[in-house]
Structure 1
Amino acid sequence: MSTADQPTITIAGATATGKSNLALNLAEHLGGEIINTDSMQFYRGMDIGTAKLPVSQRRRIAHHLIDILDVREEANVQTFQQQARDAIVDIRARGKRPILVGGSGLYVRAATDQMEFPGTDPEVRARIESEVDADRWDRHRHLQEIDPAAAAKITPNDSRRIVRALEVIELTGRPFSAQLPDYQAIEPTLHLGLSVERAVLHERIAARVELMWEQGWVEEVRSLLERGLAEGRTASRAIGYAQIQQYLAGDIDAGAAQEQTTIRTRQFARRQDTWFRRDPRIVWIDATTGDHEANTALALDAIADTSSGS
């Protein structure tokens, strides 16, 4: 089987599980190129806080859909879907293997699965955004009343998804949950997932946040504010970036900003794990030990099994 005929690979899992390293290793072994599916890594200048690999650490492997948005712009899954699928076609046309990596579950599925996304109406969205900003708990309760299935999957703290769910329901007259079909891929795809025991993952997250602070995360946010970060509805609310903005505004001290970032990241990791665990297609690899070579060997075994049809 030629490289062009072999399944697309996705690498999913919570933050700090080792996805980027595994993607690089597989790309080297398989002649692959990497497509980013982390929605925060779309943003130019959001480097430290998103754990974006510097170009010097990408081992000369092509990376796609990184640094494609200004911090003032809003990430759009429908636009991303077409960009990712175009990248897959382009990579295959050059005889390479597409490897999608990132922790934004909806974006992973948008690239590989049969999913359609209803359009948007700026006036409707603006009205709903103002309502959610005023009282997201009330709007989440309203969502529970009109679409319990969607509300069960969206936390009251996830303002962006509450807005989108209410917008879709109003525009289509159908439940938002009806827009999320079963797991049906558009082409052969192997889904890999990295899991780490919760206590170990919490330690990794705390260490990562501390390292990011030491690497200059606060200065990165200060620089991005000069480029309009506060005006971006998506970028400005990213974990860590929002807390550091509060610190720079004098609302909280540096220690509280770092602690809140760690807590929010742990909460986000749990939501990521819950999202990906719903997908029965994912082949899970226990990455608790942090042994990258062992993880790569297990991933290659799974890929070989798929390629041989076993």
Structure 2
Amino acid sequence: MISAANTRSRPVIAVVGPTGSGKSDLGVALARELGGEVINADAMQFYRGMDIGTAKISIEERRGVPHHLLDIMDVREEASVSAFQASARNLITEIRERGKYPILVGGSGLYVRAALDVLEFPGTDPAVRAGLERELEEAGLEVLRGRLRTVDPVSADRLGDGRRVVRALEVHQLTGQPFSSFMPAREYFQPAVQIGLSVERGLLHRRLAARVDQMVDRGLLAEVQTLAGRGLREGRTAGRALGYSQFLRVLDGESTVAQATEQTVVATRQFARRQLTWFRADPRITWLDWDDPELTAKAAAAILEQ
């Protein structure tokens, strides 16, 4: 364990990569090796009760390492990147003042970047947002994406779901600027180091399929049923989570468990591909093999070299 004085001069650590690559385990290992506390940067793990379907790290798996920003929201609440940024940066300061490393762990790329980078977020207008959401429901995603393409082709090509397309159109309507213009050059707001976990694609696909099967065996459908009673369907963020949206259809009689399982596997693989595209675009990330026997030691060495 290095001294507290030296720790305060060290960078913020981020463990990133695709879902199913072992980020949570490495975060704990680094915290124990270097003296740190973990800050969750997976948007779906903010939600209380969303445990099985998000592969949320258990109390036992945390091995005594403090974890922050887990189980902080009700499923009806909408996650906000700007609110996360404020909370994460406050925690980073507090953890550093305790003489420990702040360790961000998660695969939500924009959330990681919001915590690490010089990044400001434009405001919002509930009336404008509501109008765009009505259009999305009535006209469909492709119509809104086509409109976005005329004012912000970069965002239109990058954004893949209705919620983000609505947000991009809202920003343009409010500011007259494309949403993509609010993503500046990559610049850390304070010293940081990112460790990315690399998994061979075929192996990752097999791991993701096995993990979804395990989630189903552990009671994912029952978890979704419980959360449905707490307003999961009304949650703009939680209700769209991988696995949860698919298994809500089982509860509604629109799908079977087998169909929902396969749909979740496919959607998870697609999500992992988007995550890799996002993180591979950042040249500042140090990539390591997820199953390297010396993974923790190599990651710690990369951090201490900064």
Structure 1 length-normalised TM: 0.95
Shift of 1:26: 0.3
Shift of 1:304: 2.6
Partner of 2:8: 4
The reply on whether 1:179 has 2:182 as its aligned counterpart is: yes
Partner of 2:104: 100
Deviations 1:106-159 (A, max 9, x none): 00010111100111100000011111223101111111111111112112xx11
1:23 to 18, 23, 27: 27
Structure 1 stretches of 4+ moved >2 Å: none
1:281 to 280, 284, 302: 284
The reply on whether 1:194 has 2:203 as its aligned counterpart is: no
Unaligned runs of 5+ in 1: none
Instruction: Specify the code of the residue in structure 2 equivalent to 1:297.
Output: A
Partner of 1:222: 225
Deviations 1:27-64 (A, max 9, x none): 00000000000000000000000010111221111001
Tell me if structure 1 keeps the 8 A contact 2:34–2:300: no
Identical-pair percentage: 54
Deviations 1:150-173 (A, max 9, x none): 112112xx1111011000000001
Instruction: Specify the code of the residue in structure 1 equivalent to 2:53.
Output: G
The reply on whether 1:257 has 2:273 as its aligned counterpart is: no
Instruction: Specify the code of the residue in structure 2 equivalent to 1:113.
Output: D
Partner of 1:42: 46
Shift of 1:236: 0.5
Tell me if structure 1 keeps the 8 A contact 2:53–2:220: yes
Shift of 1:294: 2.1
Unaligned runs of 5+ in 2: none
Distance 1:285 1:5 in 2: 24
Distance 1:160 1:268 in 2: 15
Distance 1:208 1:140 in 2: 33
Shift of 1:179: 0.7
Structure 2 length-normalised TM: 0.97
1:118 to 117, 122, 144: 122
Distance 2:53 2:96 in 1: 31
Instruction: Specify the code of the residue in structure 1 equivalent to 2:16.
Output: A
The reply on whether 1:270 has 2:273 as its aligned counterpart is: yes
Deviations 1:228-261 (A, max 9, x none): 1111111011010000000111001110000000
Distance 1:219 1:10 in 2: 33
TM-align CA RMSD? 0.9
Work out the number of aligned pairs and report it. Answer: 301
Partner of 1:14: 18
Partner of 1:149: 154
Partner of 2:142: 137
Partner of 1:52: 56
Between 159-168 and 146-155, the greater mean CA deviation after superposition: 146-155
Distance 1:133 1:200 in 2: 37
